């Protein structure tokens, strides 16, 4: 058996096309959706992520602006930039690119974002609405995963789902969305005893633990749907030999690094369906960000 590959990149392209049509309708009414991005520091990965998000804005016809602050910026300076975006009527969605430098109070910054512009869905008010099954904005990665499942025709109701990871960004909201979709949900993590025994119970396994190749064939029930969330950069050739197939290993040797998920390549021989890294959940995360921004513009006062 070889797993069916769930092509998140192709699905994200379809979602962006839908968003482009919705944005054009708003534009005809004189309201062009706008995204305000705040990038603090010079983390290369964050800069790459922001470029990907702003390219998606260009593709779907959203206005966007990125304000950059030095890594030394104080919490108060970051809060001032957030408040500027809150006041502006041309900015409908606000993205604070994470992670922030360690000295910045992340909780204060995320709480400062106006809930109606919180297109990442991280504000406590939006988290509460999600828990109550009255979501305003759903965090983009879990929302993208639900789109992937729905558009792939994968049933969730009545199935046993296991979420590996308990972060506020992915694990917790993912579990809540699956619960609202009538799955029976277990959340586990690095301290869960006999982890493989728990994950093998899953009809649907979401791996969001942030460890390269952590989930192996012995963690997966035959025929299960496995969704990879983790994006990990490896630079060790020993790790590459273990995690990459021959074609990707040749590319690793040429570049000296590779991006891999939390799921080991051995899982493809066991799972019924599998989302890849790269090309799986990542493009859907960006697609849901622009979709949330358009939704924010639609509901703006």
Name the residue among 58, 55, 118 with its Cα closest to residue 92: 118
State both tokens at 32: 């062009």
DSSP 261: -
CATH for the stretch 30-116: 3.40.50.10860
Instruction: Choose the catalytic residue: 117, 118, 120, 203.
Output: 120
Q: What gap in Å lies between CA 245 and CA 160, rounded to an integer?
A: 30
140-282: CATH superfamily = NAD(P)-binding Rossmann-like Domain (3.40.50.720)
Average pLDDT rounded to a whole number, residues 267-283: 94
Average pLDDT rounded to a whole number, residues 143-149: 97
pLDDT band with cut points at 50, 70 and 90 for residue 43: confident
Q: What gap in Å lies between CA 21 and CA 18, rounded to an integer?
A: 5
- Say what the pTM is: 0.94
DSSP 203: S
Residue 231: is its pLDDT beyond 90? no
Q: How many residues does the chain have?
A: 301
Average pLDDT rounded to a whole number, residues 20-35: 95
Name the residue among 210, 106, 253, 224 with its Cα closest to residue 154: 224
Instruction: Choose the catalytic residue: 97, 117, 118, 172.
Output: 97
67 among known catalytic residues? no
User: What digits encode the pLDDT tens for the residues 83-93?
Assistant: 999 999 999 99
Average pLDDT rounded to a whole number, residues 231-242: 91
Residue 220: is its pLDDT beyond 90? yes
Average pLDDT rounded to a whole number, residues 254-268: 93
Instruction: Choose the catalytic residue: 7, 42, 43, 53.
Output: 53
Residue 301: is its pLDDT beyond 70? no
Residue 9: is its pLDDT beyond 80? yes
Give the per-residue pLDDT at 278. 87
53 among known catalytic residues? yes
Q: What gap in Å lies between CA 281 and CA 5, rounded to an integer?
A: 12
Please check whether the two domains, 30-116 and 140-282, share a CATH topology: yes
Name the residue among 14, 16, 82 with its Cα closest to residue 292: 16
Give the per-residue pLDDT at 193. 95
Residue 301 CB burial class (10 angstroms; 0-12, 13-18, ≥19): exposed
- The answer to whether the CB of 161 falls within 8 A of the CB of 202 is yes
**To 10 degrees, the CA torsion angle through 80, 81, 83, 87?**
130
Domain boundaries, the chain: 30-116, 140-282
User: What digits encode the pLDDT tens for the residues 152-183?
Assistant: 999 999 999 999 999 999 999 999 999 999 99
Q: What gap in Å lies between CA 100 and CA 115, rounded to an integer?
A: 20
Name the residue among 240, 242, 266, 239 with its Cα closest to residue 254: 240
State both tokens at 107: 């909780």
120 among known catalytic residues? yes
Secondary structure (DSSP) of 82-107: HHHHHH-TT--EEEEPSPPPTTS-HH
Q: Let me know the angle formed at the C-alpha of 130 by 13 and 104, rounded to the nearest 5 degrees.
A: 85
Percent share of the chain, pLDDT over 90: 91
Give the per-residue pLDDT at 288. 97
Residue 48: is its pLDDT beyond 90? no
Residue 13: is its pLDDT beyond 90? yes
Q: What gap in Å lies between CA 248 and CA 272, rounded to an integer?
A: 22
Q: What gap in Å lies between CA 269 and CA 3, rounded to an integer?
A: 6
- The answer to whether the CB of 212 falls within 8 A of the CB of 234 is yes
Q: What gap in Å lies between CA 63 and CA 57, rounded to an integer?
A: 7
Residue 1: is its pLDDT beyond 70? no
């Amino acid at each position: 058996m070889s797993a069916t590959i769930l092509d998140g990149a192709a699905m994200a392209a379809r979602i962006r096309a839908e968003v482009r049509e919705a944005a054009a309708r708003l534009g005809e009414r004189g309201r062009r959706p706008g995204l305000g991005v705040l990038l603090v520091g010079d983390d290369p990965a964050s800069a790459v992520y922001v470029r990907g998000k702003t390219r998606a804005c260009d593709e779907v016809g959203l206005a966007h602006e990125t304000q950059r602050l030095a890594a030394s910026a104080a919490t108060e300076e970051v809060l001032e930039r957030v408040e500027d975006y809150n006041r502006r009527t041309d900015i409908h969605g606000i993205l604070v690119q994470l992670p922030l430098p360690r000295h910045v109070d992340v909780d204060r910054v995320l709480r400062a974002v106006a809930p109606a512009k919180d297109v990442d869905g991280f504000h406590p008010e939006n988290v509460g609405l999600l828990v109550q099954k009255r979501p305003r904005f759903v965090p983009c990665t879990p929302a993208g995963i639900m789109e992937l499942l729905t558009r792939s025709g994968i049933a969730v109701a009545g199935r046993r789902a296991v979420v590996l990871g308990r972060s506020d960004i992915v694990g917790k909201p993912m579990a809540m969305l699956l619960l609202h979709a009538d799955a029976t949900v277990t959340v586990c993590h690095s301290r869960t005893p006999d982890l493989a025994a728990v994950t093998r119970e899953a009809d649907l396994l979401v791996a969001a633990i942030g460890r390269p190749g952590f989930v192996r064939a012995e963690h997966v029930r035959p025929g299960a749907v496995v969704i990879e969330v983790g994006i990990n950069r490896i630079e060790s050739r020993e790790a590459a030999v273990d995690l990459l197939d021959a074609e990707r290993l040749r590319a690793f040797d040429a570049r000296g690094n590779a991006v891999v998920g939390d799921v080991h390549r051995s899982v493809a021989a066991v799972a019924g369906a599998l989302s890849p890294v790269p090309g799986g959940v990542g493009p859907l995360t960006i697609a849901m960000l622009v979709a949330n921004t358009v939704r924010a513009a639609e509901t703006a006062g």
